[in-house]
Chain A
Amino acid sequence: MRKLLLLLSVWLGCITVSQAQSRVITGRITDSSGVPVPAATIRIKGTKTASMADNDGKFSIKANNGDVLVFSSSGVVSQEVKVGPNTNELNIRAHYETQNLAEVTVTTALGIKRQQRELGYATSQIKTSELNQAAVVNAATGLAAKVSGVDIRLADNGVNPQVKVTFRGSRSIEGNNEALIVVDGIPVDQQYLANINPNEIDDITILKGSNAAALYGMAASNGVMLITTKKGRGRFSLTYQNTVSAERISYFPALQNTYSGYGGEGGSGPNPAGGTIYFVNPLTGTANTVPFENEAYGAPYASLDFHTDSIPIGEDQNQHWYYVPWKSLPNGRKDFFQTGVGDQNELSGGFSNKWGGLFFSGDHTTKQGVVPYDTYQRNGGRITLNANLNRLTVQVGVSYYNVSTNIAGNSYDQYRPVYWNVMNQLPSTDLKSIKDISKFQYNQGFVNAYFPNPWWQVFNSRSKSSNDNLLSNVTLSYKINSWLTATGRTGYSKTWENAPSYIDSIIFPDFIVNGGAGPLGGSSLGVFPGSQTQQQHETVKAHYDDWNTDVFLTGTKRYGDFKFNLVAGGNYRARTSWGDWYSNQYYTQQVVGANFIPSFPSKVLHSDGSADAYFSYKRYDQSVYADLTIGYDNWLFLHGSFRNDWTSILDPKNRSFSYPSVDMSAVLSDKLEFLKNSETISFLKVRLGYAGTGNVSLDGYTRLGVMGNVGAGTDNSNIPGGYTYLLPNFGAYAIYPVAGVIPGFPYGNNGGYSQSTNLVQAGLKPEHTNAEEVGFQLGLLKNRINLEVNYYDQQSSNQTIPLQASTSSGVISYTTNAGKVDNYGVEVDLSLNPVIRVRDFRFDMSGNFAYQNSKVINIAGGQAELDQINFGTTSIGGIFAIAGKSYPQIMVTDFKRDPQGRMIVDGSSGLPSLNPNPVDAGSGNYKYFLGLSPSFSYKNLTLKAVFDYRGGAKILNEQANAMDFAGIYAGDATNRQAFVVPNSVIEVSQGKFVPNTNVPITSVGGLPTAIFWWANYYNQAGAPYVTSADFWKLREVALTYAFPMKWFGKQDVLKKLDFSLIGRNLFMWRPKANNMSDPEFSTNATGNAVGYTTEFQTPPTRIFSASIRATIF
């Protein structure tokens, strides 16, 4: 075929030459990433002569010298090329227009394509090239800062980080605020974003608001992310892409490197080097270094008061002590982290013809973490077949992915993450030098008595997970007649999780086992009987499946100037999940409390002391829906939809509910005369919409496992450290809380039940959201400047809230419909295409801005008298919802302060005291978002960047608080001697405060020194650890060179070759006060309680990559 074409063009070319005037010009039109643009129109300007490109982007047209060829296509910027005497072959690189042009078609709910002009609501689209410009591993991270109103929040920095995706802020206080993810028409869990290869995605359409999402019903009250995977297109071709990356810690917390270890011990211990080590110098009364300490409140390294020039850190087999130099090593801890190397390989290919097409892809991605030996692997692929059989079109897609991670687990005692055990070493510790733990007498290779050597953990505590995911879909569309089509679509997905974790057996030295003192003093690690613990082993197994079917009719009919588009159908969705948590965590003698599976009713004890707990959930939903758009004269559109849902998880009386939506749009630039003729304004559309949606805010996850901490921890008092796996429970059975079981029961026939600490209101209703939005789209100067502005306001009432009760009421929470949230914002998307174009140089710019605010109007309702809700707190603060304030709100403990905010201290001790009422410390959610995406191209070279600013939020860095306890935070090098609290006041009489200039703190915690100010006093309050969470980030930089094909001579294989250098998260600019971590991180990984980080999130990183991409055939 190809040869034939070539012959044809040569032949036609001959004719052209012979006729000297008119000749055939051939060529190909592709987009900026080399993908063919099918069916583009090629017109000779000023004539009716036109031609159309084929599916492969190839075209030919007869033209004369001096003719101007106009290339145009839906969604693509028109280009004009003048035919010169030597113009025979043209390769046109098309640029996609931003989507606010009249002709653009967009994907809407149920995958139905609509013209943008018809829509009365906001949508955005991201193409594969833009999504993948920085070679992301997780698709969601490729969206950050590229679309207004889309909040992508990376929860942590593990090898498989959790990403939270929300659109337009938060509507639900306690329920789910995450967008619904739909892949090729099939809803999937948000966790699926980690399973899909981003290169397989053709485009992502964001249905930001309720109107856009109304057809998806309750599942979509938070907006929908429609992911469309690639299909075969044009003639057969294969693309291979390889990306190699290197990831390094970029911002490490600020540390003090001046002082050595001392934790408040009196007394002394024998010095392995001979003599005695006095922990407090008997002559001066000052603290000497204590080698086994983690708290760095000892003597300064610069002093000479340690007995030798080295510190003992452990014994070898022959009771010889190892020593480290008596000096501070500022990078001794940071250098524990390695450069993580990643490798992504992707091969994809496909073709299409008039009968249909085929696409397939395979992905093999490996990644090392910055924590040594942490690994991630993703393997899988996808096949999509589509067939056009007369009236019937068929699409079948199947994908299968395995994502495996193997990460260092928690430590054996307090289930601490590696990062925390790294931080809790003294400034003199060179972690690299103690990697070989086998040289120590005891296999835990500990260097301080309270926190294990993190290398022990790396080698002996592992947490693995293997997640398999199958996603399949079949869509059949039958064209019943010229105006009516019936579509049936069914999708089935199944996920299997297998997550074994273990902590190996440990042999403790006798002095640890026996507790109390030893050659070097005490330890809190001495919790184990005998000389070893058994291997602790835990396995979480789970699977869940989701079967979703839609059947609907779509019809389009015209009556005169009116055009009607109708969609009507029904949906059925069935979900089940099952989980098994197995643990043999127990010690030889210790029993109660050692078995870490809480006493779930389904817990089964085995004779060897191990146990399983089983969980199973089912949920069914069904719905009917209808959607009608009436267009008048192709400029005015009125649209309405209606959906009724039935769900099994609510009480039979309340399980049926409906949502109406109505909106309209008017393309004024097509109607108003002065706009029609305007040279400046090329497009103007205004729109207005209302939608009612519901959210059954009971969806949740059941936490299985404690050992395989996945990065973000949780604040669950029953479970130390975090969790291994979140099993979706769909909110099934949530309205019927089950009785708890007292630990140890059943004994014989005695069940030992205990009432649930949660009570649920009888007749609980879904949350209801009324959403209004208005907006306009404006194209200026032939759409060179595109502006889209939206304003939305969503009021969610009937919030489903587990009201926090006084425990004296008998329960801890009462789940009820109470409360209202108002969520409003402005979104602005602006693109300048191009800003500058000078010959081959082109500079494009797009930017987006969003303001969003979620405000709690009220919480109280019915019997509830509470005005706030908390999400789980630590002793220093927590994340709350408070009537009248932004949501979510950080509340912290603070010291008592005078009206001017100065700390009130005691007139004799100089010490401040705690205010028993928590104080407001600001919003945990960002309010301002700004994304800037400049793009430069010069000939074959392009440079793209993405800047991301977020503002208006605060962050509670709990880790800084813990670091103050350990005396390792940068500020801890100060205020060790008696000192006057800066900017403090003394209350001389009620309400009268005078500045404190002369009452110093001389004693803290019963010690005759202020040395433990940071550890035992200052860190009792949370307020000092709240900083601004604002940041600027350089998220992405990608420099790509497209090799000119002529370099490869005449060959028929290689069609395209690109090479890119990519940087991700290269720079972050934060306010000076925030010297801890990435404020985007969140302990509550995918929940609502953002604004709070701990030691479970490793430090931020930057990633450098090199990528090569080749297309053949």
Chain B
Amino acid sequence: MSPKNKNIYLLALSALIALASCTKKLDTNLHDPNGTPSSQLTGKDYFAGALVEIIFNKQGINLYNATDNYDYAHQWMGYFARNNGWAASGNQQTMEDFQLTNNFGNGVWGSLYHNIYDLNFVIANSSKGSILPGAARALRTMLFQDLVDQYGNIPYSQAENPLVTLTPVYDSATTIYKDLALQIDTALSVIQASQSTADDASDVMFNGSKTSWTQFANTIKLRILMRQVPNGDMTYVKSEIAQIQNNGGGFLSQDALVQPNFANLPTKTNPFWAAYGPGSQNYNSFCANVLMINFLDSINDPRVNYYYKPLSNGTVGGEQFGNNIYAQNGTTSTYGAGVLKNASQPGVLMLASTSLFMQAEAVQRGLLNGNAATLYQQGVEASFNFLGFSNAVATADAYMSGSTNGMVNFAASTNPLQTILYQKWIAECCIDGLEAYNDYRRTGFPFIAVPSYGAPGVPMPQRLLYPETEYTQNPVNVNAQNQTADDINTPIFWAK
């Protein structure tokens, strides 16, 4: 070997050594300093977020699409309306004219499914004996019901499993509804078998209470069954309700409130406050709806000033939904202190009054044992209580007993079902527009003479159209549903 060749080999050798010393560096990217991969997290890391996500979707600005959430149901149900100082554009106009397109409701669809995806993670990845998988299953069932109630047939059996398929097929709404009831049964057995664990800390709704979660699951099941009344299979409904009653867990009697510790700090506020409170774009864009104002005034309901903020002259004012007649400055009310309390108010997942009125209706229809009048009274009391009336129970009782109006005084009612559903509609004002819209389609209550002043004579839509994203990303399956624009008038299977 000549000296020159030696040089070459030395050089090659040192290059090899240099390379070998670098191989460790190639493992650099196995750990991301900018966040935490899902593989290092468990259900408890997701559960609180999933609850708040539901609040965002239900009451706040939608997380994934700032333009649409359940605002539409609130406006259709007469809770609030566009302030006409603001010209309608895009989805708002479509929604006021009842000319829904596939662009309407993309956000509702996407965020509900993502919410369920997170709940699935909790179901699959929680510690042993934890209550979270059962709780998450009950919540998931509720969200799937919300999807069916708005869209009808939806991806269900193949949904939420991206490693299996990115393009799930659609299942029939009736099949899904049957399975939802079974899902609650499973949830109940998981809840019953659970113990108190460290996971309870992430339950920012019931703090791991088995009693509350059992009541909640029972109430969701009742909600699934009652939705099928009176248009569904009443034998099935009756036997399933009896089964709930037999398990002895009871129904929700408290408001189901999500409170992770919302605070008056940047990004930490309650989503409803952030979306509709002072300083938000919506604060000036939306106002009270005269439909609700007029109804409350007609029955001398003191809650009007709790839902809507009185004007300087002490009255409340609003707009007609869909109307383009311009209201003078200072004549419309924003949300009142009963619903827009403060930046740290809890999020409302379900009202106690919703549960109580549902039970009252079930009893009234002979599907559940109990006293409809008492449940009705408790429902109204719970509503006053939620809105923050001082001496809420007494005030509510005085409101009912002091009235001769059948819409208020249950004893004076000639149509108890109507009375229950009207009071349910009032109680859910500005809080749970979707539930009110469901009852409207199911029972026809409340009666709304002019659903939209922007489209007089046009009936309120019965459902949302499948979103545009499905046509681009799941075309085969969505096209198999053969939906047309006219299908907004096709009722969901449980509706009239």
Q: Residues of A at under 8 Å CB distance from B?
A: 263-268, 279, 295, 480-481, 484, 486, 511, 514-518, 521-524, 526-529, 551, 553, 569-570, 572, 574, 586-595, 599-602, 605, 609-611, 614-620, 622, 624, 646-649, 652, 655, 717, 732-733, 735-739, 741-745, 747-757, 759, 803-812, 814, 863-868, 870, 873, 875, 913-914, 916-918, 965, 1005-1007, 1016, 1020
Contact = CB atoms under 8 A, between A and B. Distances in A.
B22 interface: yes
Contacts of A267: 325-328
B262 interface: yes
Interface string B52-63: 110010001101
Interface centre among B27, B35, B39, B161 (most CB of A within 10 A): B35
A589 B476 contact: no
5 contacts: A515-B83, A616-B33, A652-B30, A736-B39, A916-B102
Contact of A742 (B22, B53, B201): B53
Given A570-B18, A744-B267, A755-B38, 5 more contacts: A266-B326, A527-B283, A732-B28, A744-B260, A808-B155
A805 B34 contact: no
Interface centre among A553, A1006, A1016 (most CB of B within 10 A): A1006
Interface stretch (B226-234, B273-281, B417-425): B273-281
A-B pairs with lowest CB-CB distance, top 9: A522-B85, A738-B35, A515-B284, A267-B326, A517-B329, A592-B274, A590-B279, A752-B49, A810-B117
B166 A806 contact: yes
Contacts of A914: 101
Binding site secondary structure of chain A: loop
Interface in B78-108: 83-90, 93, 96-97, 101-103
A754 B117 CA distance: 9
Interface in B137-194: 154-155, 159-168
Given A486-B11, A806-B167, A592 B162 contact: no
Contacts of A717: 64-66
Interface centre among A523, A614, A750, A803 (most CB of B within 10 A): A750
Interface string B452-464: 0011000000000
B53 A481 contact: no
A264 B86 CA distance: 10
Contacts of A605: 265-267
A615 B35 CA distance: 9
Contact of B15 (A517, A518, A570): A570
B268 to A, nearest CB: 5
A622 B22 contact: yes
A557 to B, nearest CB: 14
B14 to A, nearest CB: 9
Interface of B: 4, 7-8, 11, 15, 18-19, 22-23, 25-30, 32-39, 41, 45-46, 48-50, 52-53, 56, 60-61, 63-66, 83-90, 93, 96-97, 101-103, 109-110, 113-114, 116-118, 120-121, 154-155, 159-168, 201-202, 204, 260-262, 264-269, 271, 273-275, 277-281, 283-285, 322, 324-330, 332, 343, 454-455, 465, 467-477, 485
Contacts of B274: 590-593
A553 B472 contact: no
Given A750-B201, A808-B160, A810-B160, A591 B167 contact: no
A984 B39 CA distance: 57
B453 to A, nearest CB: 9
A587 B102 contact: no
A754 B49 contact: yes
A265 B29 contact: no
B86 A524 contact: yes
Contact of B472 (A266, A609, A870): A870
Given A747-B268, A754-B49, A810-B161, A602 B166 contact: no
B181 to A, nearest CB: 21
Given A591-B269, A743-B63, A810 B113 contact: yes
A762 to B, nearest CB: 9
Contacts of B96: 1006
A602 B329 contact: no
Contact of A615 (B34, B121, B284): B34
A751 B85 CA distance: 41
A572 B343 contact: no
A804 B473 contact: yes
Contact of B166 (A601, A648, A749, A803): A803
A1029 B117 CA distance: 42
Contacts of B470: 806-808
Contact of B38 (A619, A739, A875): A739
Nearest to A733: B32
A757 B167 contact: no
B160 A809 contact: yes
Contacts of A755: 38, 46, 114, 117-118, 121
Contacts of B465: 916
Given A480-B8, A1005-B93, A810 B120 contact: yes
A614 B35 CA distance: 10
Contacts of A480: 4, 7-8
Contacts of B30: 652, 736
A868 B474 CA distance: 10
A553 B8 contact: yes
Contacts of B326: 265-268, 279, 517, 521-522
A315 B274 CA distance: 33
A123 B33 CA distance: 42
Given A587-B279, A620-B26, A755-B46, A863 B164 contact: yes
